[in-house]
Amino acid sequence: MLAALQRANIPDSAVSIYVQDVNQATPDLSFNAERAMNPASVMKLLTTYSALDVLGPAYRWKTEVFTQGAWKGEKLKGDLIFKGYGDPKITLEAFWLMLRELRQKGLKDLRGNLVLDRSYFNVPAEDPAAFDNEPNKPYNLSPDALLLNFRAHRVRFLAQNNSSHPRIVFDPEIPNTRIINDVKMTNSTCGDWEDNIRYQVGSTISFNGQFSAACEDKSMQLVLLDNNAYFALLFRQLWEQLGGTWKGSVVSAPVPDSATLVAQFDSLPLAEIIRDINKYSNNVMARHLFLTIGAAIRGAPTSPARSAAAINDWLAVKGQRFLELVLKNGSGLSRSERISAQHLAWLLNSAFHSSVFSELESSLPIVAVDGTMKKRLVMDNISGHAHIKTGSLKDVRAIAGYVFDAQGRRIIVVCLINHANADQAKPVQDALLEWVYERL
């Protein structure tokens, strides 16, 4: 590992490590472990473990639907109202099932507005370009108590025979939008195809760059519309496919006292949601969960500040006070969030001795098998023997989780690296994991 550090030109002062057997009271290795470090997405361990403990693995978010006005037969002369409570995974398929249920209840012709109540979350306005100048990437989305399909458009690139350009398809389709396709077909290898595509979003949506015929069919996810416009687009397309009609607009407003509740839809259970959060490092889902913890402990409407205070409340109940802890959004997509390797190890140890350990461990990427660890240490003995959460930002590389070593012991491993050469740190952390697995 020291040799790997030297090759990466990373000083040991930029590294924080903590290694401990879950059945032992003292660490096997502790180096700079009390130092406050940026953990990147490893911060999701604090968010998901505290959520499992506070909310329980079976917790489900609800989404309520109300009517306001005269509903006669299949016609509603009034508003259809959706109230969100932060469900982090209302996919296109889940939304279709919601609308199908409303059709089966007898709603067909809507002659009023769609009213969206997002008041459960109180999140200050954010510039989606502020973090890394990628405002159209879904990971930069702000939380939305009524988030629909991650507000994402799937943009497909399909190789076409006898054409100098790939076919570009939007899902969902955006009517009356001009798409400029200046992407050139090539015969190179596919490789990291997305790095060869550039786009610009404005009054038109333009693409240029190169796309290899060897890629055949690839897609990227982009955020192209604001909250209300996206909800209106998806609602109209699905509602009309289900045989309904709608004449109205989308407005944001609280549910009026006189509205009538007509349906409630529940999310997947938390134990399933955290698999997306940890295995695939989904930032917006983690931020929703972070805010939900705040609502559970401190009440709604919930805010990032209230949620940070709620997690400190939770730690206090467990007799802990992380003096170095800085929480901004609970996802790790932040330049300012901080925690120490020692306290991350405490969280992992506490989780191991808790009733929710199975759910937390199974949500972590398995080395060489899935999630963000799928392509790491594939041919090594540790393959399949560790659950490791990863984190990466500019100047940050982090890992934390459990290694089931060659002696059958479960070992907590945390390694945080904050340095300008952190992008060269993967061999360092892989060497640490191999050492933990193989040592006697």
Domains of the chain in start order, with CATH, are: 2-59+270-438 (3.40.710.10), 62-124+227-266 (3.50.80.20), 153-222 (no CATH)
Indicate whether 221 pLDDT > 90: yes
Q: What confidence tier does 36 reach under pLDDT thresholds 50, 70, 90?
A: very high
Contact 412, 349 (CB under 8 A): yes
Indicate whether 108 pLDDT > 70: yes
Residue 208's contacts (CB-CB under 8 Å, 6 or more residues apart) are: 182, 183, 197, 198, 199
Segments in 253-403 forming alpha helices (H)? 270-279, 283-298, 304-317, 341-352, 357-362
The C-alpha atoms of residue 139 and residue 88 are separated, in whole angstroms, by 13
User: Any idea what the Cα angle at residue 329 is, between residues 339 and 423, rounded to 5°?
Assistant: 60
pLDDT at 42: 98
Residue 161's contacts (CB-CB under 8 Å, 6 or more residues apart) are: none
Mean pLDDT of 98-102: 98
pLDDT digits (tens, 9 = 90+) for 337-357: 999 999 999 999 999 999 999
Q: What is the largest CA-CA distance in the chain?
A: 76
Contact 232, 249 (CB under 8 A): yes
Q: What confidence tier does 413 reach under pLDDT thresholds 50, 70, 90?
A: very high
Q: Which of 144, 132, 156, 113 is nearest to 40 (CA)?
A: 132
CB atoms closer than 10 angstroms to residue 439: 13
Q: Which of 9, 164, 8, 144 is nearest to 83 (CA)?
A: 144
Q: Which of 96, 87, 84, 83 is nearest to 60 (CA)?
A: 87
pLDDT at 203: 86
pLDDT at 101: 97
- 377 backbone φψ class: left, alpha, beta (φ>0; ψ -120 to 50): left
Mean pLDDT of the chain: 96
pLDDT at 132: 93
Indicate whether 398 pLDDT > 90: yes
pLDDT digits (tens, 9 = 90+) for 276-290: 999 999 999 999 999
pLDDT at 176: 87
Tell me the angle at which helices 304-317 and 283-298 cross, rounded to the nearest 10 degrees.
70
Mean pLDDT of 150-160: 96
3-state secondary structure of 130: coil
Name the residue type at position 15: V
Indicate whether 84 pLDDT > 90: yes
Q: Which of 159, 217, 160, 220 is nearest to 194 (CA)?
A: 220
Q: What confidence tier does 161 reach under pLDDT thresholds 50, 70, 90?
A: confident
pLDDT at 162: 86
Q: What confidence tier does 234 reach under pLDDT thresholds 50, 70, 90?
A: very high
pLDDT at 166: 96
Mean pLDDT of 131-156: 95
Phi and psi at residue 177, in whole multiples of 5°? -105, 130
pLDDT at 6: 87
pLDDT at 440: 60
Task: Among 3-12, 207-216, 347-356, 415-424, name the one with the lowest average pLDDT.
Answer: 3-12
Mean pLDDT of 380-399: 97
User: Any idea what the Cα angle at residue 400 is, between residues 395 and 401, rounded to 5°?
Assistant: 160
Indicate whether 1 pLDDT > 80: no
Report for 168-182, 279-293, 426-440: range of highest mean pLDDT: 279-293
3-state secondary structure of 208: strand
Residue with tokens 């030109």: 9
Contact 423, 408 (CB under 8 A): no
Residue 33's contacts (CB-CB under 8 Å, 6 or more residues apart) are: 16, 17, 18, 27, 340, 341, 342, 345, 414
Indicate whether 122 pLDDT > 90: yes
Mean pLDDT of 120-149: 94
The C-alpha atoms of residue 275 and residue 280 are separated, in whole angstroms, by 8
Mean pLDDT of 180-190: 95
